[in-house]
Each structure stands twice: as C-alpha cells, then as structure tokens.
A = this chain, B = another copy of it.
C-alpha cells in the first residue's frame, strides 16, 4: 500500500534522496543539513522531499537504519558461526572493518547517531526507536560473542561491556576520523592499501588484547 522501501513506489528518487542525505548527514550532522541542500543535490524541488518522507527526522532515521542494517548484514556470518570464539571475533572485526571501509559515510553517521540524541524532541522518539533497537541488537550480539569466548577460556576475563565499548571505539572511530585521521596516518583512510593495513592492524590489536594464551595464533 504505502512506502515499501526496496522496489516499489519510486525506485530512483527515493534512493537518491537517501544517498544524498546520508552523505550530507555524515559530513555535517543533523542540524547542519538543510533540506533545501538535499533537494538541490538530488535535483528535486524541496517540497518533493516531503512526498517521500514525512519530515526531516524521518529522513534521518531511515538513513541511519539503512546504514546499520548494512553493517548487521555484514556481521551476521560472524555471529551465526559456531567455531572457536577467537575466529568469530576476528571475523566480526573484519566484517565491521569491511562494512565501514566500503561505505565512507557509515562510520561518521554511526558515531553521530550516538551523539545527537539530545537534538530531538520527545515526540520524535518513536521515529528514532527502530534505530536504537538495531544498535542494541548488534551490541548485544557482540557482547554475547565475548561472553562465550570468556566462558570457553579463550579470552581473558575482561569486563564484557567495557570490551564491547573498546572494540566499537577502536574500529569505528578510525573510519570516522577524517582529516585528523589522515594527518595521523600520513595518507588517505579509504585507499585500498590503507583499508587492508587497518583491517590487519586492528584485528591483531584486539585479538592480542583479548586472547589469554600467549600465542596469538597461526596468523
């Protein structure tokens, strides 16, 4: 009947709006983006945006949902696998790296979505609720993976919530760090070689930090 995100309604304009809005929200934040700018870059009149989305917050929420869903899709195999926790951990981090690396705005948008809670009125909460649910889902699965690894004796006995927080920060921040990160790296963040090196480095870093036994493995 109504908006069926995926194929029906207008397959072109709606997706284009989401793409443009995603890039702009990531670069300038919710308050820093004007719908007139979004519309102009898509090639539509501003009022046409309201045909596809009831308002700015809804557009922002849908953009965020799309980003997180894409990441969850990448992490699913790591969570569903049944091997040793160390391997699932590596697969999770690699999947997260890949998801963030192949879609530049994702990391910034993700971190921003954590910061910009206080910008929305209480009446907007139901609109944002699905996003919060998705975040809670993925962090819950990560915590479960860590708990399992500790129970199996594969990981040190760390505080699981703190470890989840550390992993999120260590992985996500890098792809959101922009110019500051590139100045630290001395080169681009999203080049093929940089992405590959980052994946290797951060996976080893977290692996080494969590695994109890001395030998980090065959890698």
Q: Name the B residues within 8 Å of A170 (CB-CB).
A: 166, 169-170
A81 within 8 A of B: no
Q: Are A139 and B174 in contact (CB under 8 A)?
A: no
Of the candidate stretches A29-37, A69-77, A84-92, the one touching chain B is A29-37
Chain B residue numbers with a CB within 8 Å of A165 are 173-174, 177, 181, 184-185
A205 part of interface (Cβ distance < 8 Å): yes
- Residues of B contacting A178 with CB < 8 Å? 114-115, 117
Interface string of A92-118 (1 = CB under 8 A from B): 000000000000000010011011111
Query: Are A202 and B115 in contact, CB atoms less than 8 angstroms apart?
Result: no
Which of chain B's residues has its CB closest to A165's CB?
A: B174
A119 to chain B, nearest CB (A): 5
Residue from A159, A181, A185, A205 having most chain B Cβ neighbours under 10 A: A205
Q: Which of B169, B173, B198, B209 contacts A208 (CB 8 A)?
A: B209
Contact A32 B116 (CB under 8 A): yes
CA distance A210 to B206 in the complex (A): 10
> A158: nearest residue on chain B (CB-CB)?
B201
Indicate how many identical chains form the complex: 2
Contact at B209–A159, with CB atoms within 8 Å? Answer: no
Tell me whether A39 is interfacial, beta carbon within 8 Å: no
Whether B205 pairs with A166 at a CB distance below 8 angstroms is: yes
- Check if A183 is an interface residue, CB within 8 A of chain B: yes
Contacts of A29 in B (CB 8 A): 29, 31-32, 115-116, 119
Q: Which of A31, A166, A174, A210 has the most CB of B within 10 A?
A: A166
A175 to chain B, nearest CB (A): 10
A108: shortest Cβ distance to chain B, in Å? 6
In the assembled complex, the Cα of A28 lies from the Cα of B60 at a distance in Å of: 15
Interface residues of A (CB under 8 A from B): 27-32, 108, 111-112, 114-119, 132, 135-136, 139, 143, 156, 158-159, 161-166, 168-174, 176-181, 183-186, 197-198, 201-202, 204-206, 208-210, 214
